[in-house]
Structure 1
Amino acid sequence: MTVLDSPALPVLFSDEVLRRFLDAAAAEYAFITPEAPRPCFGVLTGTIADDAVLVSEIAFGRNARTTDPSAREEFARTIVPRFGSAYENAVRAWWLAPDDLLRITREAAGRGLDVLGSIHLHPDWHRLGPECERGRPLSDRPTPMDEYVFRSAGWPLNVVCYLEKQHGGFYYSLAAWDGDCAPLSLRVHASAGLVSA
């Protein structure tokens, strides 16, 4: 079975991968301002079993949104005209540095893992962002821009993590989507305090 055969399979997500992503997302969240919707993005690696997609590791890379000529061209030619002037903001959105993706792919292959897809942050931008964003709350659902990216990337797994800060703490929700933006069943490994059967 190849990674591309896997969209109907449930996604079994490592709690360690989730913790690492949430730690990174909370660090970025601390620096979000109305002018800077700081992104957080990770590449998910793992294996495909007969009955599930097993996400076992996460890798982070650099955002080449403003430094890679292909990224600058894509935003200017396609993304801003299609999804609006908000994407002129150089801090908004993520473009994984190609050399980092190559490194991540090689390192995963060296450990017998496949690149399965990605996870990215949706903060409560409707609370943190400028006044013009107040009526458009984010969630763990893909935005139209996300849908474009998911379809363009062709990865079979795309996880959106919605993170908000309320009552002195962080709260999150997760949802998984295939490359055509159809929902996938997502389950996070429950290791803490549970006895194995």
Structure 2
Amino acid sequence: MTSLVPVPLIGKATLPVLFSDEVLQRFLDAAAIEYAFITPEEPRPCFAVLLGTFADDALIVSDLAFGRNARVTDPSAREEFATTIVPKFGSAYENSVRAWWLDPADLLGITREADARGLDVLGSVHLHPDWHRLGPECERGRPLSERPTPMDAYVFRSAGWPLNVVCYLERQHGEFYYSLAAWNGDCESLPLRVGMVTA
């Protein structure tokens, strides 16, 4: 969640997303590090801002930027969770590690740097781990996936960004596996294509 004015969605709401394979790998590497520290008490989120360009026929993701989670340090974040999010989405969100609130100072810095490089802030990407396996017993019947949760849908609409990517990551048989999906600010699915490495 952020405190910036939303990017207008007009004309961008259904464009396909062209996602750099290098950028995706950078996010997956960061997500795998956070995943390694997940415990039943600590979901360990991973979140990044997606940067790129608005083309006439696509949203082109060419970079990303990580920022700090201000979930427990920003007064606006604490109030939003206490008065809206926990009552609406449940006591699981009382856990101060669950969910992400991008530090407004970091977002401002990311936006300024992107602007200096001729890039646009397109939206965000965040991790959904196999919390139904890693989390507490009460989570066993609620598997996550690359689909938005009700809380995600609330955040997507509140942020107003035209692109919101959810990355589901799980560990099976000693290997990581992931799935990826893109959503607009109204929580509608967007076509997502990941670039391929060429020799």
TM-score by shorter chain over 0.5:
yes
Question: How many residue pairs are counted as aligned between the two chains?
Answer: 192
Q: Following TM superposition, by how much is the alpha carbon of 1:181 offset from its aligned partner in structure 2, in angstroms? A: 0.2
RCO higher in 1 or 2 (8 Å CA, sep ≥ 6)? 2
C-alpha separation between the residues in 1 aligned to 2:67 and 2:128? 18
User: Distance between the aligned counterparts of 1:185 and 1:178, measured in 2?
Assistant: 10
User: What is the CA–CA distance in structure 2 between the aligned matches of 1:191 and 1:6, rounded to whole Å?
Assistant: 27
**Paired position in structure 1 for 2:103:** 97
In the alignment, which residue of structure 2 is the partner of 1:60? 66
Separation (CA, whole Å) in 1 of partners of 2:25 and 2:132: 24
Residue 135 of structure 1, aligned match among 121, 141, 153:
141
- AA matched with 1:106: R
Unaligned 5+ runs, structure 2: 1-6
Task: Give secondary structure in 2 for the equivalent of 1:107.
Answer: helix
Residue 34 of structure 2 corresponds to which residue in structure 1? 28
Q: Distance in 1 between matches of 2:54 and 2:192?
A: 14
Aligned Cα RMSD in Å? 1.0
CA contact (8 A) 1:63 1:96 kept: yes
Tell me the CA shift for residue 9 of structure 1: 1.1
CA contact (8 A) 1:37 1:125 kept: yes
The 8 Å contact of residues 3 and 48 in structure 1, kept in 2 or not, is answered as no
Candidates 183, 187, 192, aligned match of 2:193: 187
| Pairing partner for 2:180 from 169, 174, 177 | 174
CA distance in 2, matches of 1:64, 1:102: 14
- d(CA) in 2 for partners of 1:73, 1:37: 21
Partner residue of 1:157? 163
SS at match of 1:158: strand
The answer as to whether partners of 2:8 and 2:160 remain within 8 angstroms in 1 is: no
Q: Tell me the TM-score normalised to structure 1 length.
A: 0.96
1:79 maps to: 85
Q: Secondary structure at the match of 2:185?
A: coil
Q: Distance in 1 between matches of 2:93 and 2:67?
A: 21
Give me the identity figure in percent.
Answer: 80
Instruction: Answer whether contact 1:3 1:116 (CA < 8 A) is retained.
Output: no
Question: What is the TM-score normalised by the length of structure 2?
Answer: 0.95
Q: Once the 2 structures are TM-superposed, how far is the Cα of residue 51 of structure 1 from its aligned partner? A: 1.1
Shift of residue 192, structure 1, vs aligned partner:
4.0
Amino acid at match of 1:66: V
3-state SS of 2:101 partner: coil
User: What is the SS of the residue equivalent to 1:70?
Assistant: helix
Q: Are 1:148 and 2:161 counterparts?
A: no
Give the match's secondary structure for 2:164. strand
**Conserved 8 A contact 1:155-1:178:** yes
Structure 1 residue ranges (4+ consecutive) displaced by more than 2 angstroms after TM superposition: 2-5
Letter of the aligned partner of 2:156 in structure 1?
Answer: F
- The whole-number CA distance in structure 2 between the counterparts of 1:122 and 1:60 is 16
Please list every run of 5 or more consecutive structure 1 residues that lacks an aligned counterpart in the other structure: none
Please say if residues 12 and 162 of structure 2, whose CA atoms lie closer than 8 Å, have aligned partners that are also in contact.
yes
